Amino acid sequence: MHAAVIGLGTHLPPRLVTNEELAARLDTSDEWITSRTGIRTRHWAEPGTATGDLATEAGLRALKSAGTAPGDIDVVVLATTTPDHPCPATAPDVASRLGLGPVPAYDIAAVCSGFLYALAIGQSQIVAQQARTVLVIGAETYSTILNPDDRTTGVIFGDGAGAVVLAAREDTDRPGALLGAHLGSDGAHKDLIRVPAGGSRYPITADMPEADRYFTMEGPAVFRQAVVRMGESATTLLHRVGWAADEVDHLVGHQANARILTALAGQLDIPVERTVVNIDRVGNTSAASIPLALAHAARQGRLAPGDRILMSAFGGGLTWGSVALTWPDITPL
């Protein structure tokens, strides 16, 4: 038994935040942000809107895209770094709000690699015949963990959610098939991307520095690690599934930085015009990044059923991964 993508749904909060808006209160400019990141706008959730709200809407749209009834979902896997609460997990609440019944539902935390980790987990559930239909969601509200005075992180991240429905299939010949995954991690570099406080290692106290409650990132080191790790992972997966680089129709990398995407394409020897880019519109949406990019390309008419898609991501942990699939005959919602 194999897994195939049969539906895709996304959701962005309506508030659009421009570079000019951020430049008005931070020591930066539109030119500085665009030249270093490729980002021009991003969406931020309004106060009171949580990750679970975005995930629920994206999940609902994915079900509609797939033509799948809520009662047909067997498992929910939600990738997020910004859960509604430290405890409990957000996925059970999302499953309840979608009317899925008492199905297994759980969060995974792999930061920007989260969606690909969740895809691999959903695929494994189907291959092991523990489920026939899985709802995989990546959702984030990074605006809630950003230091409002830090221009290095405050201009990069956006909020959003994307979800796919995976279904069991007996062969991989039909469009939509997940053909393989490669995952990796290196905890020796865990401090490159983190929120220092809030866990059992460093509980929040009344007298701690406020900055320790916010997301931090060592940008140059992360850039170098991202290109190397994503390139190695993608190359390993290409060998595993038997694809040559020139047979990849679309490279969908995690939308962290436009220069990273260009460097990754060059490392893999994939023409840069085959790279899907929407970071200019939505910023870095972490676990929601890849499904949002897929939906963007599909709505542009770039993706045709059967196209070979190579996805690769890198995030905190450090974590990284790649997934190969053939594009399904679907309409993203």
Distance CA 138, CA 59 (A): 10
The 10 Å Cβ neighbour count of residue 26 is 18
Report DSSP state, residue 5: E
157 touches 195 (CB < 8 A): no
* Active-site choice (2, 43, 254, 296): 254
* Active-site choice (112, 182, 250, 296): 112
The overall longest dimension of the chain from CA atoms, in Å, is 59
Distance CA 233, CA 225 (A): 12
Active site residue 278: no
Coil/strand/helix, residue 43:
strand
* Active-site choice (43, 182, 284, 296): 284
Active site residue 250: no
Distance CA 81, CA 94 (A): 15
**Cis bond leading into 318, ω under 30°?**
yes
Q: What residue type is 32 in one-letter code?
A: W
Active site residue 284: yes
Which residues form the catalytic set?
112, 254, 284
